[in-house]
Amino acid sequence: MPVFVVCELGAPPQRVKIDSPPVRVGRDPENDIVIREDGVSRDHALFVMADRGTWIVSCVSDTNPIVVDGVLTSRGATVREGSQVLVGSKYMIIFSNTDAAAAEYLGSAAGYTQASCLQCQWTGIVGTYSVEPTCPRCGGSDFSGLNHFDSGHHAVAEIEDLGDTSTIVASASELAADFSRLLKAKRSALERVDGHKEAGARLTLKETEPLVLAKSSPGAAALHGMLIVGSASISWSSSQFVIRSALTHPALKLNGKAIEGAPLKDGDLIEIGTNSFRFVVG
């Protein structure tokens, strides 16, 4: 049976061996590998053994993808000796076929650090020693904070001695700043800015419940217009709110550009026909 090395930002790596497949990963405490992070689904990923001893990891979350050996996926992929599976933003799972190889990966935990995607500002754990880091939110590969000091915005990672193993942990100031940004993001809201009667109304967003914008929605979330077909929704994903379109007509526009979905930033203008909303962080 395989051995899993679980690397968490700011904590010593852990060795996990499961006696029989499948191996379940997620936030629910009933899982075989429990990931204690808000941006991880209760049931997030599943390792299963296929024909001839091949192992496959599948993403079972409807909202949160995984990154397998640098490839962003919402479905699944084959894993091999040394494969790296990113779950959430703080946890990297290394797959191993033997105890001896797993012991080496425990000692290689220094190849993991915290970095930020320059394209969408996602921040989390990235592997720096075997595959190119990939952002689980946008699929980008351009990061700041990888073993260097970046314009004063990301503190230099520090090596912490852990005896037989070592890991790179973010500085206290960087972790505090990330936590502050996360709390602020969770207090986001939508303000109606069109000429309809609900203009000025503020819709508080919840990370546990999507906000649906549709003709049938109550109050300020209701869309006006005879030809509105479908809906749009705003939901929490990993570390920020994301808008997605299920509209047939008209198109969902973000800052004047038609889109199907995108992460939201402070001040973004959302338009659906004659309906306009402003996304506000904090």
Q: Are 131 and 69 in contact (CB under 8 A)?
A: yes
* Angstrom distance (rounded) from CA 143 to CA 141: 6
Q: In which band, very low, low, confident or very high, does the pLDDT at 113 lie, cut at 50, 70 and 90?
A: confident
Instruction: Give the per-residue pLDDT at 149.
Output: 28
Task: Determine the pLDDT at residue 165.
Answer: 33
Determine the pLDDT at residue 135: 85
Strands 91-96 and 84-87: antiparallel
Summarize pLDDT for 11-66 with one digit per residue, the tens: 888 999 988 889 999 999 999 999 999 889 999 999 998 877 789 999 998 888 89
Q: How far is CA 156 from the centre of its chain?
A: 23
So what's the pLDDT on residue 189?
Answer: 94
- Is residue 236's pLDDT more than 90? no
- Summarised one tens digit per residue, pLDDT across range 56-111 is 999 998 888 899 988 888 888 999 998 999 999 999 999 999 888 888 888 765 56
pLDDT at 131: 65
For residues 219-232, b (16+ Cβ closer than 10 Å) or e, as one string? ebbbbeeeebebbb
Rounded CA gap, 244 and 15, in Å? 38
Amino acid at 131: V
Distance CA 3, CA 8 (A): 16
pLDDT in the model for residue 109:
58
208: left (phi over 0), alpha (psi -120 to 50) or beta: alpha
Is the predicted pLDDT of residue 243 greater than 90, yes or no? yes
**Assigned token pair, 243:** 């808008």
147 contact partners, CB below 8 Å, separation of at least 6: 113, 128, 157
Q: What is the mean pLDDT of the chain?
A: 82
Vertex 50 angle, CA 46 and 52, to 5°: 145
The model's pLDDT over 148-182, given as tens digits with 9 standing for 90+, comes to 323 222 222 232 333 333 333 344 445 455 556 66
Ramachandran angles phi, psi of 243, nearest 5°: -105, 140
Map residue 175 onto helix, strand or coil. helix
Question: Is residue 170 a contact partner of residue 89, using CB atoms and an 8 Å limit?
Answer: no
Give the residue among 78, 180, 68 at the shortest CA–CA distance from 133.
68
**Predicted local confidence at residue 110, as pLDDT:** 56
Residue, of 137 and 198, whose pLDDT is higher: 198
Mean pLDDT of 219-240: 89
Exposure string for 179-217, b = 16+ CB within 10 A, e = fewer: eebbeebbebbbebbbebeeeebebebebeebbbbbeeb
